[in-house]
Amino acid sequence: MTGALVQGTRPMASLDKSLSLLTEIIEDQGRRPISTISAELELPAPTAYRILAALKRHGFLENGQRGYYVPGKALRKMSGYASATAVAASACRPVLRELSHQTGCTVHLGILEDSMVTYIVKFAGTQEGLPTREGMQLEAYCSAIGKSLLAGLPDKALQEYLTSGTFYELTERTITDPARLMDELSGIKQNGLAIDDGEVDDQLNCLAVRITDDPFLLAVSIAKRGAAFSEAELISRSAQLRECAKTLQSLLIRCL
């Protein structure tokens, strides 16, 4: 009897480990690599990877960036907790952390919701001082990330936005005229790079690139306080930003 009981507990023990690992990965939202998570759960690496392989086969997890995992399609169907926004944030977080480390700038990942930018990921740079936070919303017309997102709207939706109300001046550089804003967005659509040179705050400078198109618009930005980006910085930072966006595009195609 004892032997039967012991044998019967093995599948349950394995299930406990699998559920613990799955829960921890979901709640972590891409902040730590799987090696750290499994170590904290005291799971040997071979055991952790056997569990991960099974969870992937059944669609509960998908590979994110190397060493990271995100909720899979089967899990997203079962629970609104693993929404497309949550999956995107989890998948992109490791790449954005590296971009912030490379540039020393504050990095944001944002989506367009109800004509507003919602920050879903933020990594502070070496010179922080930015009053943004994850979950915060900002008007789209006056920021680099917002303009990048607006440039991805279909023509009809963009026209509706431009005629939806008054655009208020936050600094002397804020574009408030709909015709000028349309010209700005047309240029962004062609060039792919959005620039905010003190439009939200006199001392705030941002660059942004859109990652995905309508209907799920995502963009990534880098921001710093102080002087505007020099020509050399603009070339260097925009190249890093575009490369990051390209990496994230490939990642999200696999994860979403």
Predicted pLDDT at 11: 54
CATH number of 2-81: 1.10.10.10
pTM of the complete model beyond 0.85: no
For CATH 1.10.10.10, list the domain ranges present in the chain. 2-81
- As beta bridge partners, residue 50 has none
Encode the chain (256 residues) as per-residue pLDDT tens digits. Answer: 333 333 444 555 788 999 999 999 999 999 999 999 999 999 999 999 999 999 999 999 999 999 999 999 888 877 665 688 988 999 999 999 999 999 999 999 999 998 999 999 999 988 767 889 999 999 999 999 999 999 999 999 999 999 998 999 999 999 999 999 999 999 999 999 999 999 999 999 999 999 999 889 999 999 999 889 999 999 999 999 999 999 999 999 988 8
DSSP of 55-123, one letter per residue?
A: HHHTTSEEE-STT-EEE-HHHHHH-GGG-HHHHHHHHHHHHHHHHHHHH-SEEEEEEEETTEEEEEEEE
The pLDDT assigned to 9 comes to 44
Which residue intervals of the chain bear CATH 3.30.450.40?
Answer: 84-255
Sign of CA dihedral 135, 140, 144, 150: positive
> Looking at residue 76, what is its pLDDT?
80
Q: Three-class SS string for 185-225?
A: HHHHHHHCEEEEECCCCCCEEEEEEEEECCCCCEEEEEEEE
Q: Fold for 84-255, please state it.
A: Beta-Lactamase (3.30.450)
Distance CA 127, CA 85 (A): 28
Distances (CA, A) of 185 to 43, 110, 128, 155: 50, 17, 28, 11
* pLDDT score of 79: 65
